[in-house]
Amino acid sequence: MINLYATQIESISIHRVGNKNKNEGVFLSEEPFRLNDETTGLLKEYFFKPFREKEENYYKLTNEVDVEFNELFKIVSEVFEDPSKAHLNSKKVASLLFEQSNHPHIKSGEVYVAYLSGLLLDNKKVDAIGIFKSELKHDFIQFEEKNSNLDIVIQQGININKLDKGCLIFNVEKEEGYKVLSVDSNKYDTKYWIENFLGVEPLSDDNFKTKNYLKFCQDFAKEVVLPAEDKQQEVLFMNRAVNHFAKNDAFEESTFLNEVMENPELIPEFKHYKTEKGPKFSIEDVSTFDIANKAVSDARKKIKNVINLDTNIQIKMDFINPESAEKFVEKGWDEERQMYYYLVYFNKEQKS
């Protein structure tokens, strides 16, 4: 987990990268940008806000032969070894990005390369290199006094509430390709940023395993539990799964199955489904790991716990306390109406 509150921008360089396919060129600043209190505050909010809002999916720099052949790895390694060379290497970063900017959809924009200190990563202070790009320009209205009238002036600029692309490369785990976080608000050219420029792949850490195992469970609930039983049992299975993760520090698959799988006949189905679908979620060989609480919280927000009925009625199950759904909601069949029904017990209606 990261905490960016105390992060300091030690140095920052700004360049402009055009679309190589359109012969737009690249503009490299001769000197680093000189920060003041106002620009520092604005840039920190602009750069770091997306990382506070986005779930933490970590990557690592990689290469099909060896990470040493990843161009960005070479550049950031030199900066971490000697931060005084940050500006010189920022030009290499901009040039590398320009070489990958050859698809017609890729927009020109400003590239900011910052050397950062004081970041908290898993409660440890680390340095990092931030690479950010602004692409989309917006029209702004400014006003000028001309004699006795106010005149409107249209100007173009960037919206500092929305970073287009960015990454943080932390000075940890160098041998594995560093730890990397990335954000991309514009989904039309993700391959260009993630694959072509950064050259990263997901880092198989505890956060990755926790998140993907819960995604796998969600697929199993939808593809196996729902057809075998019903929607209520699908929702309850995911309730039990998420709560098992929430109350444990470590995951062990056999314990998980014995606690969460109320129908023992589904355990062999689960194991078969894992053999078949596990590679899709990169969990085929995963059966024990330390549980990442942040990934559990993120998963809880995304998992739907609503039963939608064809009579335009919704039943929302209590995700915090799944036992109440089993205790106070009963499903049955009405012979006279030839319809299923849910019987819901309660003491009083809650005020909205």
pLDDT tens digits along 288-308? 999 988 888 888 877 777 777
Q: Could you tell me if 174 and 253 lie in one domain?
A: no
**Do 14 and 110 share a domain, yes or no?**
yes
Question: What per-residue confidence (pLDDT) applies to 13?
Answer: 97
What pLDDT score does 157 carry? 83
Q: Are residues 170 and 242 in the same domain?
A: no
Are residues 199 and 213 both part of a single domain? no
Residue 100 lies in a domain: yes
- Point out the domain boundary residue: 203, 226, 253: 203
> Does residue 62 form part of some domain?
yes
The answer to which of 91-95, 130-134, 160-164, 219-223 has the lowest mean pLDDT is 160-164
Indicate if 270 and 311 belong to the same structural domain.
Answer: yes
Number of domains forming the structure of the chain: 2
Residue 351 resides in a domain: no
pLDDT band at 232 (very low <50, low <70, confident <90, very high): confident
At residue 146 the predicted structure's pLDDT band, cuts being 50, 70 and 90, is: confident
CA–CA dist 268, 292 (Å, integer) = 27
Domain of 148 in residue numbering reads as 2-203
| Token code pair at residue 106 | 């890729």
What's the whole-model pTM score? 0.76
- Overall average pLDDT of the 242-249 stretch: 92
Please tell me whether residues 199 and 264 are part of one structural domain. Answer: no
**Is residue 66 included in any domain, yes or no?**
yes
Instruction: Among 203, 218, 243, identify where a domain stops.
Output: 203
> CB within 8 A of 24, min separation 6: which ones?
18, 108
- Are 239 and 107 part of one and the same domain? no
Mean pLDDT over 195-212 rounds to 90
What CA–CA distance (Å, rounded) separates 195 from 129?
A: 18
pLDDT score of 321: 60
Per-residue confidence (pLDDT) for residue 326, from 0 to 100: 66
Task: Round to whole Å and give the CA distance between 239 and 34.
Answer: 52
pLDDT at 156: 85
Does one domain contain both 219 and 189?
no
Give the residue from 203, 235, 250 where a domain finishes. Answer: 203
Q: Are residues 38 and 169 in the same domain?
A: yes
- Would you state the pLDDT for residue 319? 52
13 shares its domain with 157: yes
Mean pLDDT of all residues belonging to the chain: 89
Cβ(111)–Cβ(95) under 8 Å?
A: no
Shared domain for 125 and 250, answered yes or no, is no
Residue 352 inside a domain? The answer is: no
- Burial profile 119-130: b = 16 or more Cβ within 10 angstroms, e = fewer: bebeeeebbbbb
pLDDT tops 70 at residue 271: yes
Report the percentage of the chain scoring pLDDT > 90.
Answer: 53
10 & 118 share domain: yes
